[in-house]
Structure 1
Amino acid sequence: MITTMAGPGACPECGAATVSIREALPWCAGCEWNLDGYDRARQAPELGWSWIDRRTHRLATRLTRQQYAALAGRPLGSTGWSLAGALTVGISILLLVGVLAVAVLGVWLLIAFPFPNFAIVVGLALIGLALVLRPRFGRVPPDVDVLTRAEAPELHALVEEVASSIGAPVPHVLGVDSDLNAYATAVGPRRRRLLCLGLPLWGALDGPARVALLGHELGHFVNGDVRRGPLTQPALNMLGIAADLFRPAPGTYGVGLLALIGEWLGRILSGTLSRLLFVGHLALAATALRGSQRAEYLADEMAARAAGTAGATRLLDVLLSTESVALVVRQAARGGHGPAAWRAGTARSLAAANDRLPLVRQLSVREEMSLFATHPPAGLRHRMLTARSWQDPAVVLTDARAERIDAELARHYERAGRIVSWAG
């Protein structure tokens, strides 16, 4: 429901009637007055204190707006590191050196003193700490069904065509799962490229949006996304792991006054260290995710190159409506219907919401604003694409070809349908 308010609800900047959807704080659709305001009733707390959340929201708004303004005025083809990315890599290298030093010190304590000696206990503890904090390279998730070229030749060919159109490498592993999502990442020590398509999302998209999805995800292999670099993982994960490791366990186990005092002092020290590490983790995450949001704009540009501006913006509108899409897919799957019904239902849902979509995009600018968001607000991503030169599609996925791809995935669609049927 869209509501407009005149008189007392008029915009103090331009005098137009303010608008509101989903019981959100009113804003002006014309000049966007109050769109950057913090809506405590509708925005989930991030740090637990409303006065801090309000200030972090304000800071996130300023940084995100500045980044949008900087990128909107120049070509998005550059894949070089941003300042945030370079800082993240530098900090990651320092953390890796620190973990290596802890491991070396632990080994030295094991061999430097004769057995038995208390230094051996300390050495084992340091080696254990280094093992816990070691970089993780990841692996193909167990719920991903890997598709070989023999099993899905049409889909593999489409992925290669889209990759060629945007100058991206093809993935080493192509897989599907049952999530309303898609992602590209690198796994293992050799950093093998993985592209995973969530079938509820893939099946609900029309041809241009499918090409846009591939263009966006493959674009992450060339857009300098800090979340996917082996040298940036320590900065994003290590301090958070350390904070969890030093967090005091609940409960009291000491017996006697001295034991209680010792436990109390230990909890104070470990709790203080845990909080300091967590603050450092939050600061690094907020810094690194500026680079991540920049990479999302670049990935959207890749999507527009492959599928055209219309296909890329169509995909963003679907992603803005994931709750509706999930409902459509779930109801169709419970009725025994496959991806053709998912696409038709999604198209009807988007058509019915067409009048309010501009306001939904605007509201996302407020409600998806966060220092810790990996993606810019969908409304700003849509605005970035439509403000640039219009692009025609480089790859066209015909209905006949889409049907052949769906036929290749029939067995996987059935499994995803069963899972989705009982979700929610």
Structure 2
Amino acid sequence: MITTTAEAGSCPQCGTATVSVREAMPWCADCEWNLDGYDRARQAPEFGWSWVDRRTHRLAARLTQQQYAALVERPLAATGLGVAGTVTVVASLLLVAAVLAMAVLGVWLMFAYPFPSLAVVVGLALVGLAVALRPRFGRVDPELEVLSREQAPGLHALVEEVAAAIGAPVPHVVGVDGSINAYATSVGLRRRRVLCLGLPLWGSLDGQARVALLGHELGHFVNGDVRRLLVTDPALTMLGSAADLFRPAQASQGGGLLEMIGEAIGRMLSWLLSRLLFAGHLLLVVTALRDSQRAEYLADEMSARAAGTAGATRLLDVLLSGESVALVVRQGSRGGHGPATWRAGVARSLAGAAERLPLLRQLSVREQVSLFASHPPAGLRHRMLTARAWQDPAVVLTETRAEEIDAELDRHYRRVSRAVAWSG
């Protein structure tokens, strides 16, 4: 249960009584004093040392607020690669060049010296390492239930209508799964566009929130998100793969003293190399995610363009209430009810939380901030949309049309309902 209480203390900056939601560390709702504070009791550790987590949290909060302030006063547009994107691209190109050089050197060593030779062994090792570290460009998730146009003509038509409204290309693959989520990505060397709609989320949204969800996800195909570019993929994956590759294996049992000493030295060097590679991976990911958060704001702008500001902000409030959505869907599924019941339950939940939602949005500014967050806090995303010019919907999804789309997905809804009903 969510409770809101005025704390005994007052804000040291403006004198207003501080507030707390969900037993969180108090803050001032007026001037937002202490909203950037690290609440150890409620925030999951990232590095495992509280003094490090506290400092990285404050750094992430400062960077997130600076980015919001820089974007809120200017038009949101895909302006190409920024500094973070450029760094990621350069790192990708250098990593690919290094792997290619490793493979070429390995092949040369294999054929430049007669067999048997130590050089041949080294060459084989280099070629094997290059193959293990090669760039991987993803593939369609095998858990995705792909929907053809014949299976879901209404859904495909809606996707195409929203894509046209925001100037985005139509995805090559449209599918559903059982998550309270949705995503758009590009896979393979040809960068095939994939749209996935989590049915518990999709079925819980009203018409305009569904349009907003499509507008946001399809917006990722044109918003310059650095995570979805072919040229940046190596920087986000290769060093992490290398760190896993060099992670020390389990120590063997038995052996002589010299063998034990040699193995200990090898494990120590392997651990050090793995940690260095992982540190480089984290640095590149953190750099790329700064640009990724900018792209999320632009995707929200496209969401509002398609569904209207009201629909886009309502979607953000539903996403902010993920636990309530999960509870509504689980209870409805156990009672044998489908998406119509889910939508009604989520609508009641949002109506009941209407007075608390402003505080929950503020709390998200503290609890959803991280150096490793791909999205800005939901509260800042909501604030960004309401600070801009109000937009009317370009696409309207009527209740009748929404029910027709749900009828197309009935078999998939029933499968997901069975799985959700027996979950946690």
Q: Which TM-score tier does this pair reach, normalised by the shorter chain? A: over 0.9
Structure 2 residue aligned with 1:383: 383
Among residues 2, 5, 12, which one is paired with 2:4 in the alignment? 2
Q: Offset of 1:121 from its aligned partner?
A: 1.8
Aligned to 1:147: 147
Distance 1:228 1:78, change over 3 A: closer
Amino acid at match of 2:374: T
Q: Which residue of 1 aligns with 2:55?
A: 55
8 A Cα contact 1:102 1:130, kept in partner:
yes
Separation in 1, partners of 2:346, 2:160: 27
Q: Which residue of 2 aligns with 1:242?
A: 242
| Residues 1:292 and 2:296 aligned together | no
* Cα separation, 1, equivalents of 2:143 and 2:399: 29
For residues 237 and 267 of structure 1, the distance between their equivalents in structure 2, rounded to whole angstroms, comes to 24
The alpha carbon displacement at 1:79 in A equals 3.9
Deviation at 1:254, TM superposition (A): 5.5
Between the aligned partners of 1:282 and 1:55, the Cα distance in structure 2 is 16
CA distance in 2, matches of 1:253, 1:68: 55
Partner of 1:343: 343
How far the C-alpha of 1:22 sits from its partner, in A, is: 1.3
* Cα distance in 2 between the residues matched to 1:286 and 1:188: 24
Partner of 1:356: 356
CA contact (8 A) 2:248 2:270 kept: yes
Give the deviation of 1:252 after TM superposition: 4.4
User: CA 1:159 to 1:209, structure 2 compared with 1: closer, same or farther past 3 Å?
Assistant: same
Aligned to 1:104: 104
Partner of 1:323: 323
- Residues 190-241 of structure 1, C-alpha deviation per residue, up to 9 Å, x if partnerless? 1110101111100000001000000000000000111111111111111111
**Residue pair 2:208, 2:311 contacting (<8 A) in 1 also:** yes
CA deviations on 1:93-122 (whole Å, 9 max, x unpaired) are 100101111111111111111111122222
One-letter amino acid matched to 1:338? G
Q: Which residue pairs with 1:183 in the alignment?
A: 183
Q: Say whether residues 1:74 and 2:74 are aligned partners.
A: yes
- Across the aligned residues of Structure 1 and Structure 2, the Cα RMSD in angstroms comes to 1.0
The reply on whether 1:167 has 2:138 as its aligned counterpart is no
Cα offsets for 1:248-296 (capped at 9, x unmatched): 1233446111111111111121111111111111111110100110110
Q: Name the structure 2 match of 1:215.
A: 215
2:409 aligned residue: 409
Contact 2:199 2:413 in 1 (8 A): yes
Amino acid at match of 1:125: A
Q: Secondary structure at the match of 2:230?
A: coil
Which deviates more, 341-350 or 253-262?
253-262
Contact 1:79 1:222 in 2 (8 A): no
Map Cα deviations across residues 357-397 of structure 1 (whole Å, 9 max, x no partner): 11111011001111011001111101100111111101000
**Map of 1:131 onto structure 2:** 131
Distance in 1, matches of 2:395 and 2:91, equals: 40
Q: Distance in 2 between matches of 1:120 and 1:330?
A: 60
For the residues of structure 1 that align with 2:193 and 2:180, how far apart are their CA atoms? 21
By how many angstroms is 1:154 displaced?
A: 0.9
**Does the CA contact (< 8 Å) of 2:11 and 2:33 recur in 1?**
yes
* Residue identity matched to 1:218: L
* Deviations 1:59-113, CA, capped at 9 Å, x for gaps: 1111111111111110002342121111101111100101111111111111111
Aligned mates of 2:227, 2:182 — CA distance in 1: 15
* Residue type of the alignment partner of 1:220: H
Say which SS state the counterpart of residue 193 (structure 1) adopts.
Answer: strand
- Are 2:367 and 1:367 aligned? yes
Cα distance in structure 2, aligned partners of 1:376 and 1:250: 39
Q: Distance between the aligned counterparts of 2:27 and 2:220, measured in 1?
A: 34
Distance 2:126 2:22 in 1: 52
Counterpart contact for 1:109–1:123, Cα < 8 Å: yes
8 Å contact 1:211–1:307 — kept in the other structure?
A: yes
Aligned to 1:226: 226
Which residue of structure 1 lines up, in the alignment, with residue 422 of structure 2?
Answer: 422
Letter in 2 for 1:333: S
SS in 2 for 1:134: coil
The DSSP-based 3-state class of the residue aligned with 2:183 is strand
Matches of 1:104 and 1:351, distance apart in 2: 63
3-state SS in 1 of match to 2:235 = helix
When normalised by structure 2's length, the TM-score is 0.98
Judge which range, 68-77 or 78-87, deviates more: 78-87
Which amino acid in 2 is paired with 1:115?
Answer: F
Q: In the TM superposition, what whole-angstrom CA distance separates every residue of 1:169-208 from its partner, at most 9, and x where no partner exists?
A: 0001111111111000011221110101111100000001
2:267 partner amino acid = R
The answer as to whether partners of 1:254 and 1:263 remain within 8 angstroms in 2 is no
Q: What is residue 395 of structure 1 aligned with on the other side?
A: 395
Q: Distance in 2 between matches of 1:134 and 1:198?
A: 31
Instruction: Report the AA paired with residue 153 of structure 1.
Output: P
Whether the 8 Å contact between 1:145 and 1:176 is mirrored in structure 2 is yes
Equivalent residue letter for 1:257: L
Report which stretch shifted further, 400-409 or 127-136: 127-136
Which TM-score applies when normalising by structure 1?
0.98
How many residue pairs get aligned? The number is 422
Q: C-alpha distance in 2, partners of 1:173/1:165?
A: 19
Q: Partner letter of residue 110 of structure 1?
A: M
* SS of equivalent to 1:122: helix
* Aligned AA (1:29): A
Measure the CA separation in 1 of the matches of 2:156 and 2:280. 42
Equivalent residue letter for 1:314: R
In structure 2, the residue matched to 1:94 is 94
